[in-house]
Structure 1
Amino acid sequence: MHSTMSDSKKLLVLNKPKGYVVTRSDELGRKKVYDLLPDWTFNDGWMPIGRLDLESKGLLLFTTDGKISDALTRPGNCIKVYEIWVRGHVTDEHIAEAKRGVESKHGLLKALVVEKIGTGGAKTKLKIVIDEGKNRHIRRLFGALKDPKFGTPLKVLELKRISIGSFEPDIESGKWRYLTVEEESMLLDAFS
């Protein structure tokens, strides 16, 4: 896939499947996001902006520009939207607590928006919006909340990042593409 005039020279996006680590090298020999990208992304120093852990999936941006990376990962700068499935019954109290914030050894973990969008068996589907991304932020936030009936921590079973800033592309799992110049400006104009 060659870059065209309307492609960004600075940003590309991968729709990361589960089971890939976001790292340049992995001593455990696990599959890496670079296995899904052309070799030149690794060789030319394209770096992931932020992280998605092994079991998480969804949108992951890459750039060669450290300033862009800093701008998009600075807390408060960039809204990220996730769809998650949680084991356990998520109550209105849980939702209020997640929005207020939960103290953890990783600092205050909170979500700006928590919206119930479905249930299935003993699981709840939620839409989550955050504007920062501490390590395993959403998993740890819900792990700090207890199921009212069983007293066990809520557990995030599935996590998918569906948008970054105003950027919500429709792109198949495991595939990548350049952002368009328009998408790039939509993302970056906020910081210029």
Structure 2
Amino acid sequence: MLPITHTMTTSKKLFVLNKPKGYLVTRSDDLGRKTVYDLLPDWAFNEGWMPIGRLDLDSKGLLLFTTNGHISNALTTPKKCTKVYEIWVRGHVMDEHIAEALKGVQTSQGLLKALEVKKIGMGGAKTKLSVVIDEGKNRHIRRLFGALKDPKFGTPLKVLELNRISIGDFKLDIDIGTWRFLSEEEEKMLLDKH
């Protein structure tokens, strides 16, 4: 049962979790590790709410849940929905790296690329980037930057932190480890383009 506190403008089809690092995006884990369902009320698991897409164990940020397969498909079909990430990369990210990431890099997972990459900060030997993609192959951003080399040391760039901050026009606005239902307006905004 859904909590009674929700008003009529609350979506019945979508909620968002701000996933912390260290939680698996799965219904259960053979090794007994923490899953995103440990952060959610029991009804989310019992009523079959499923994550839309994935964030790996070391990633954090916006994760949507639904019980509706059509919504899930609409938001995970490649080229249909942009996702924005803020990442910290070990190494100095040069303009050449950004150009390569935009053009596409051949990896063992096939061609990986980003729609937009912007440098938004530096800290020591780390670079903070904003990255926009419209598909989500397994560990897409980590593999993309891992295929690029630091010019000074000749080592692969490494994504140290990855935080998804938006999907489509929906921006993450809740504290880490918390969840909330979307409003009907937010649901409409997300799904109208599909």
Normalised by the length of structure 2, the TM-score is 0.97
Structure 2: runs of 5+ lacking an equivalent:
none
- Cα distance, 1:4 vs. partner? 2.0
- Partners of 2:77 and 2:124 lie apart in 1 by 37
* 1:93 maps to 2:80: no
1:127 aligns to what?
A: 130
- Pick the aligned partner of 1:156 from 146, 156, 159: 159
Percent identity of equivalent pairs: 77
State the distance in 1 between where 2:35 and 2:172 align.
Answer: 22
The within-5 A match list for 1:28-177 is 28-177=31-180
Q: Which residue of structure 2 lines up, in the alignment, with residue 3 of structure 1?
A: 6
Distance 1:137 1:113 in 2: 14
Q: How far apart are the structure 2 equivalents of 1:148 and 1:169? A: 34
- Unaligned ranges ≥5, structure 1: none
* Distance apart, 1:117 and its partner CA: 0.3
Q: Distance in 1 between matches of 2:156 and 2:33?
A: 28
The aligned amino acid for 2:35 is K
Report the Cα offset of residue 169 of structure 1.
3.2
AA aligned opposite 2:122? T
1:73 offset after TM fit, Å?
0.2
Q: Contact (CA 8 Å) 2:150, 2:156: kept in 1 or not?
A: yes
| Secondary structure, counterpart of 2:171 in structure 1 | coil
| Count of equivalent residues | 191
Distance 1:80 1:20 in 2: 20
